[in-house]
Structure 1
Amino acid sequence: MGRPEDAEKWIRGVERIFQYINCEDNEKVKCATYQLVDEADFWWESVKNTITKEQLGELTWVEFKAKLFEKYTPEYYRHRKQNEFWSMRQRNMTVAEYDRAFNQLSRYAPHLVDTDEKQTEKYCNGLRHEIVIAFASQKVLSMLKP
């Protein structure tokens, strides 16, 4: 987990496995930590050495993820990505590239897209003007058809 994106991908992958096998909340930390390798495995060993067995037994999946993100996805990185999302514009990207970038960056600012209305507004505000006009024209035309 050298890059912040690696930690995020790892968490998402583990959570997909949890969902598939219907892993209970009280087993998630135990299952996930068996999947840690290399630097992350050494990090986890050092964390375990700094907490009691009771604390380890009571550690929730949410708390574990917070510790992992704190270690591998620092606050400055998340803040930078949030700002990148806030100021995101399509510019010379295709709509498909813009859509992909929008989806990737939106996870850093979920409060900006936590409703369909907010998500649509943010998405459209980043599109090139001519594309917004084309979408608007298409919507008007489809409303006029019987």
Structure 2
Amino acid sequence: MESMPPSSFGTPTPVEVMDWISRNEMVFESYDYSNRQRTVLAVRQLKTEVLRWWKLLADITTKGEANKMSWVDFLLHLKREYYSKQVFLDINNEFHNLKKGKMSVSEYVASFIEKMKLVPF
């Protein structure tokens, strides 16, 4: 199953969501998966809370439309659910106010990079 994308998360944080998306996109590009294949493969990985969210989304959309959703639309729904505007504002503030303080240089760099990945969204 080397061609399958990485497993998904249980209850994700925004960082986990963005990392999961990045890992999936690397695999999808490596195998030249179509937009539809990307969504199908991603949905098959979902577990626990995220799987419940997907099933609810599928239930409230027109019958069968969720299964035809493009990768871009899937990502919009996923980010809307797990990366709210308030979370973005909080992370943006943390990023702009990040200080080394008592962190080691490597801890500071890791925190900086983690927040930097999320701010452009």
Fold match by TM threshold 0.5: yes
* Partners of 1:2 and 1:72 within 8 A in 2: no
2:111 counterpart (92, 101, 120): 101
TM-score, with structure 1 as normaliser: 0.64
Question: Aligned partners of 2:120, 2:85: CA distance in 1, in Å?
Answer: 15
Task: Report which of the two has the higher share of helix.
Answer: 1
1:71 aligned to 2:81? yes
Give the Cα–Cα distance (whole angstroms) in 1 for the partners of residues 56 and 44 of structure 2.
15
Gaps of 5+ in 2: 1-9
- 2:19 is matched with which residue? 9
Aligned residue-pair number: 111
Q: Which residue of 2 aligns with 1:90?
A: 100
Q: Which runs of 4+ in 1 moved over 6 A?
A: none
Contact residue 18 and residue 118 of structure 2 kept, 8 A: no
Higher relative contact order (CA 8 A, sep 6+): 2
Structure 2 residue identity aligned to 1:92: K
Question: Are residues 109 and 6 of structure 1, via their aligned partners in 2, closer, same or farther at CA, if it must alter by over 3 Å?
Answer: closer
Offset of residue 94 of structure 1: 2.9
Q: 1:3 to 1:33 in 2, by over 3 A?
A: closer
Larger radius of gyration: 1
**How far is the alpha carbon of 1:53 from its aligned partner?**
4.5
RMSD: 2.3
Amino acid at match of 2:58: K
Mapping for residues 6-45 of structure 1, pairs under 5 Å:
6-45=16-55
CA separation in 2, counterparts of 1:79 and 1:70? 14
* Secondary structure of the corresponding residue to residue 34 of structure 1: helix
State TM-score, norm by structure 2: 0.75
Once the two structures are TM-superposed, the CA of residue 48 in structure 1 deviates from its matched residue by 0.9
Distance 2:40 2:64 in 1: 14
Q: d(CA) in 2 for partners of 1:43 and 1:94?
A: 38
Q: Structure 1 unaligned runs (5+)?
A: 112-146
Matches of 2:11 and 2:67 in 1, distance apart?
27
Shift of 1:69: 1.8
- Please give the per-residue CA displacement for 1:78-132, whole angstroms capped at 9, x wherever unaligned: 2111110011122333332222211110122228xxxxxxxxxxxxxxxxxxxxx
C-alpha distance in 1 between matches for 2:74 and 2:120: 20
